[in-house]
Chain A
Amino acid sequence: MSQNILEVKNLKINFSTFAGTVQAIRNVSFDLRKGETLAIVGESGSGKSVTTRSIMGLLASNAQIKSGEIKFKGQDLLKESAKEMDHHRGNDISMIFQDPMTSLDPTMTIGKQVAEPLLIHGKISKENALKRAQEVLELVGIPNARARMKDYPHQFSGGQRQRIVIAIAIVNYPEILIADEPTTALDVTVQAQIIDLMRELQEKLETSIIFITHDLGVVAGIADRVAVMYAGKIVEYGTVDEIFYEPRHPYTWGLLSSMPTLDIGSHKLASIPGTPPDLLDPPQGDAFAARNPYAMNIDFQAQPPFFQVSETHYAATWLLHPDAPHVDPPAAIQRRFAEYQKLLQAGQVENPIEGSLNE
């Protein structure tokens, strides 16, 4: 569990647009361990997808990587040639996309589409590739896979199509699987099935997963560790329990408070006021300061460094500075703290949200 398979360090990515240069990724570092699931959470435009696309080498042509390194098993992917990247894609690192309705080629049978990565990378005969494709389709739960290999994408439902997209991603036993909001376009019931499937597959294949989402409920169900992104930066990261029960960054507080819970009753759902900053001209201080009810003067002047909360838990907020005044987090967050203490005392740190997702 401790071996890092992927290390992203000081990654900065800009996009040149007609309006100017957008600083989409502003110094992001994280690592991914073998066999773990890292969830990257954040709202639209926070840079989650750009980060993962840079790992795949699939950035848009107007993107420039200003600095940083992405080390896959010690090798910097950013220094590799296009040919070497083609070799990694779909082989060691593969990706599941958001919308299963448009991710599959409408004019190719799904058997061929699933077998394709095998034929590109493996020196395997076409027959064997199709046989493998059938096994993988069975593995992801496509009923009657043998007969359905010859069907086209439009003959499958949305959930089934996402299973096929997953089959394409895992057919080569990748070491890293990047899932870019794989459940966002699906019904809630189907979402739960896909999450279950991914968890099951991870156990069988021992892949590391980077799971991008803006849905915290989904995160609780699948992640080992969570990184919260805001305005092109990671603002807090830790284990899933730490992020859910002991969050320290006001942005994470905001996210968790705006998550509907079963006992919300007739109360109004909380939300974070304001909009994310313009990354054409990012603020000098903490990017979240303008929306942060706990913001102090220093938040507007200097960007906070990461403060260590525990061995695995870090948050970039001035509130953790030894000189910062003590603040009380929102009521919903305080309840989470209390619940966590109870669980810790009972010696069973488990995730009640995970349970609710599966029911």
Chain B
Amino acid sequence: MTKYILKRIFYMIITLFIVASVTFFMMKLMPGTPFTNQEKLSPAQLKIMNEQYGLNKPLWQQYLIYLGNLLHGDFGTSFQFNNQPVLSLIMTRLQPSLLIGAQAMILGSILGILLGAVAAMNKNNWIDSLATFVSIVGISVPSFVAGVMLQFYLAFKWHLFPIALWNGWESSILPSLALAFSPLAQTARFMRTEMVDVLNSDYIELSKAKGNTRWQTVVKHTLRNSLIPVITILGPLTANILTGSLVVENIFSIPGIGEQFVKSIMTNDYPTIMGLTIFYSLLFMIMLLITDILYSLIDPRIRLTSKEGN
């Protein structure tokens, strides 16, 4: 197990290196420079600025310098956001994003699993159809539409929650709800399909033959077995929610990491783009690793070894 995790971490470092390299060159292909929008700068001033930030050097030199700094844990300094170091910039903005993402994930997946389970137990009757309808709506309505609707009804019309901005925990409720729709819908679909299969399996028949009631059968033998494939999608889904909240953060004007990502791309803030890309990739890979570890905990047939193909 330890050996397996170490091996995975080694692969993660290689992946990060590739992600950093590809992003670096693609970013330089983007039109404009960090100073394009500052029209008041004279050519002489621009030259000084470029020299100051090392942007006048050949691309390969800039690349090597960046990688070198990265190895020392130095992500550079933001061009835009008050000249803060990128790392501390990310850290200060991480908290709202993590809070919203985690709340959305926990709420969405728990409700989704329950909805899917209830749908499977009532297969082909109106409860099942209702659950299917909810899932389809949840999958097809984008989070920003859901966000705007929530803002309009729950905040603007009925004044239940703050409409936007970041003032304490209440502010996190609406964006979390908006984000929760997608994981709710997806886990519900997955859970239903899987649980219908499990409920048809021989060991469920045996469970009934043992004298278990319907509910005992579900709790003791069905849920755990149905959850195995659901776990598979939870990892990537979590990463998506944590990283993909940028639009929702923008709608609710939350000073989160997603909002910052959008701004840094708009302004060609190279160090911030790089830092956030690396951060997001790392997050994604950690989620996948956690998924695999969870997998082995929940399913005894899966044992993690460092050998391929086991």
- Interface on A for B, CB 8 Å cutoff? 56, 58, 83, 86-91, 94-95, 97-99, 102-108, 116-117, 120-121, 152, 154, 165, 168-169
Contact A107 B299 (CB under 8 A): yes
Could you say which residues of chain A place their CB within 8 Å of the CB of B203? Answer: 102-106
Tell whether, in the assembled complex, residue B210 and residue A168 are in contact, meaning their CB atoms are under 8 Å apart.
yes
Q: Which of B208-259 contact A (CB under 8 A)?
A: 208-213, 216, 220-221, 224-225, 228
Interface of B, secondary structure class, is helix
Cβ-closest 5 pairs across A and B: A90-B211, A90-B210, A102-B202, A152-B300, A89-B211
The contact of B301 among A97, A98, A116, A152, by CB within 8 Å, is A152
Judge whether B211 and A117 touch: CB under 8 Å.
yes
Closest partner residue, chain A, to B213 (CB atom): A86
Interface residues of B in 190-217 (CB under 8 A from A): 201-203, 205-213, 216
Evaluate whether A105 and B225 lie within 8 angstroms (CB atoms) in the complex, with A58-B205, A89-B211, A94-B210 already known.
yes
How far, in angstroms, from A139 to B301 measured CA to CA in the complex?
27
Write 19 A-B pairs (CB below 8 A) sorted by A numbering: A58-B205, A58-B208, A86-B213, A87-B211, A88-B211, A89-B208, A89-B211, A90-B210, A94-B209, A94-B210, A97-B209, A98-B202, A102-B202, A103-B205, A104-B203, A105-B206, A106-B301, A120-B212, A154-B301
In the complex, chain B residues whose CB is within 8 Å of the CB of A94:
209-210
- Across the interface, name the chain A residue whose C-beta is closest to B227: A107
- Residues in B lying within 8 Å of A, measured CB to CB: 201-203, 205-213, 216, 220-221, 224-225, 228, 298-301
Q: Which residues of A contact B208 (CB under 8 A)?
A: 58, 89
CB distance from B297 to the nearest CB of A (A): 10
- Whether B211 and A106, one on each chain, are in contact in the complex, defined by CB atoms closer than 8 angstroms, is no
Residue of A nearest to B209 (CB): A95
Count chain A CB atoms within 10 A of each CB in B201, B205, B299 and give the residue with the most.
B205
| Contact (A90, B300) CB under 8 Å given A104-B203, A120-B216 | no
A148 vs B219: C-alpha distance in the bound complex, in angstroms?
Answer: 24
Which of A87, A99, A107 is close to B298, meaning CB atoms less than 8 Å apart? A107
Nearest CB on B from A181, distance (A): 12
Question: A98 contacts which chain B residues (CB < 8 A)?
Answer: 202
Tell me, in angstroms, the Cα distance from A117 to B216 when the chains sit together: 12
Q: CA–CA, A95 to B209, complex, Å?
A: 6
Tell me which residues across on chain A come within 8 A of B301, comparing CB atoms: 106, 152, 154
Q: Measured between C-beta atoms, what is the minimum distance from B127 to chain A in Å? A: 15
Asked whether, in the complex, the Cβ of B206 is within 8 Å of the Cβ of A108, the reply is no
The reply to whether A106 and B209 contact each other, CB–CB distance below 8 Å, is no
* CB–CB B206/A97 < 8 A: yes
Report the minimum CB–CB distance from A111 to chain B (whole Å): 13
User: Quick one: given A106-B225, A107-B298, A154-B301, are A97 and B202 in contact (CB under 8 Å)?
Assistant: yes
- State A162–B208 Cα separation when bound (angstroms): 18
Contact of A103 among B206, B212, B228, B298 (CB under 8 A): B206
CB distance from B25 to the nearest CB of A (A): 47
When distances are taken between beta carbons in the complex, the residues of chain B under 8 Å from A89 are 208-211
**Chain A neighbourhood of B206, CB < 8 A:** 95, 97, 103-105, 165, 168
Known A120-B216, A154-B301: A107·B210 in contact at CB below 8 Å: no
Complex CA gap A154/B301 in Å reads 7
The winner among B202, B211, B224, B298 for most chain A CB atoms within 10 A is B211
